[in-house]
Structure 1
């Protein structure tokens, strides 16, 4: 393994056989259990418009969650480096996926909307700039081929 190379593994198990396998488009559920050793399972499915279970996480949810969480974690590190004390962080992220009309599609845009509270008013400007550094550091944002934008609001307590 190369220096700085990290490997990840999971097991995706389809649990949607309704008795006849994939004998027809409407004859199976899109349910999946995602497992990583030592972690709770994630119950997943397709998004509801694609015949999935709306109560389960879908791949689109998970991609948006990965981008949001990666920015959050990168941001916290950027703030520590900039001597900014974050006391609260909440992101209301949104994403746009566009179907191509040929049974495919792609995400075309993600907007992160972090709402950050810092310990002191003097930290606000550095906290605002830390979002740029977080974006640069985020492994997930650096791995996708669509824009990941952020519109942050930073206040102090």
Structure 2
């Protein structure tokens, strides 16, 4: 059976032209809007350290959010299949990007720290093992070249 292909499309429109275009890197904004059919727009910008608007989502945050959300979706599906009832899941994720003196950057690592509430005693060991499986299946984590570590914290409710 041939591989199944999924195609994703978004439109990113730069909204940071303050009337002078890119005449100088000091005069233009880094703001943009990301849209996809039928979905709310995402207000984006550069990281504030790269002259971005701190109220907009920057590409690093969006990459980290993608890693976190993909892991969560796989994890919840695996738990459902294993009979483990998750009642709450909140990830406190962090990524590290290293910038060279010339301004190029590369992501060095990402750390997912989900806080998970489980219904039932004696499930933590099984629930922990499912994180490794979720990581192995996560489309986004499988696509990046830097390590993605998961350090879950469990609570029994």
Give the TM-score normalised by structure 1: 0.96
| CA–CA separation in structure 2 for the residues paired with 1:48 and 1:35 | 22
Unpaired segments ≥5 residues, structure 2: none
| CA–CA separation in structure 2 for the residues paired with 1:90 and 1:15 | 32
Q: 1:1-39 CA deviation, whole Å, 9 max, x = no partner?
A: x64210000100001110110000101000101010000
| Secondary structure in 1 matching 2:122 | helix
Query: How far 1:156 sits from its partner (Å)?
Result: 1.0
| Secondary structure in 2 matching 1:122 | coil
CA contact (8 A) 1:141 1:148 kept: yes
Superposition pairs for residues 1-157 of structure 1, below 5 Å? Answer: 3-157=3-157
Runs of 4+ that moved beyond 6 A: none
Unpaired segments ≥5 residues, structure 1: none
| CA–CA separation in structure 2 for the residues paired with 1:77 and 1:101 | 43
| CA–CA separation in structure 1 for the residues paired with 2:82 and 2:109 | 29
Query: How far 1:108 sits from its partner (Å)?
Result: 0.2
Q: 1:43-101 CA deviation, whole Å, 9 max, x = no partner?
A: 00000000000001000110010001111101001111221110011110011000022
| CA–CA separation in structure 2 for the residues paired with 1:131 and 1:54 | 32
| CA–CA separation in structure 2 for the residues paired with 1:133 and 1:155 | 20
Q: How many residues are treated as equivalent by the alignment?
A: 156
| CA–CA separation in structure 1 for the residues paired with 2:125 and 2:155 | 10
